[in-house]
Amino acid sequence: MDVLAPRLVLPVDPNSNIPNFITNINTNNANANLNVNANANANTSNGNQRAHPCIIREQDQYMPIANVIRIMRRILPSHAKISDDAKETIQECVSEYISFITGEANERCQREQRKTVTAEDVLWAMGKLGFDDYVEPLTVYLNRYREAENDRNNMRVDQLPYVGFKRSMDYGPIGVPPGPPSYGPGFPMAHHPGMFDASAMGGGEYHNGSGAGGSSSSSSGAQNSGLPSFDPYAQFK
């Protein structure tokens, strides 16, 4: 299945012999592009009839073009212009990149008979497919995210070294200044992936169908209790 192939859409004509091609069209997106290609032929029993297909790009399978452009502009000098077809091409490249990496990561999961594609699988796939330069900054990014998630799950107002403001949420203020307190060597982030996953996935796990993996049920528990056997602020008491 090729995610990026243009979808063929024919006008519906009940009197004609042309088969009706049906696709989903995302009409909410103001960026939807319409390319009319008058040369394509429809396969019909009546060989003389020609279709006039409209090829519509499905915006759902791409990153929003505004976001893509914003990232491009960070690199380009201010006087640079970007043609529309270049923007679309980069959009397509990003989706292809995600599919490419995910395919490899998923294959590894299947080989190891695991059901969930994890962040580690994604990072592994990137390394394997030649994107080594990305792996380190992404690992740093992921670790910072996990630290922040742990802070959110474990923090209590009375234990905060910095008193900012009170929030109504039960996990306390998250206006934590940079430079989290140094955790002791026993901090489980690196050493206990099982325990770690439960809280790291507090943000929710995406899954298909009715398969209820063990980790999905523990994620809600992790929200409330955090890491029951570990108190990262013990040193501040």
Q: Of 167-206, which residues contact another protein (CB under 8 A)?
A: 167, 173-176, 178, 197, 200-201, 203-206
Site size for another protein (CB under 8 A): 101
* CB within 8 Å of 157: residues ≥ 6 apart: 163, 166, 172, 173
Q: Which is nearer to another protein, 154 or 197 (CB)?
A: 197
Instruction: Work out the angle at residue 31's Cα, subtended by the Cα atoms of residues 78 and 37, and round it to the nearest 5 degrees.
Output: 110
- Out of 54, 142, 160, 195, the residue judged to bind another protein by CB under 8 A: 142
* Smallest distance, another protein to C-beta of residue 106, A: 5
User: How far are the Cα atoms of 141, 149, 169, 211, 222 from residue 194, in angstroms, in the given order?
Assistant: 20, 16, 27, 19, 12
Shortest reach from residue 125's CB to another protein, in Å? 10
Which residues in 26-65 contact another protein (CB under 8 A)? 37, 39-41, 55, 60-64
Using CB under 8 A, which of 13, 33, 50, 145 touches another protein?
A: 145
> CA 187 → CA 136, 191, 198, distances in Å?
21, 8, 15
Residues in the chain: 237
Phi, psi of 123 (to 5 degrees): -65, -40
Cβ-based nearer residue to another protein, 104 or 185 = 104
Helix 65-75 / helix 84-111 crossing angle, nearest 10 deg: 100
Q: Which of residues 71-130 bind another protein (CB under 8 A)?
A: 71-72, 74-76, 79-83, 85-86, 88-90, 92-103, 105-106, 109-110, 115-119, 121-123, 126, 129-130
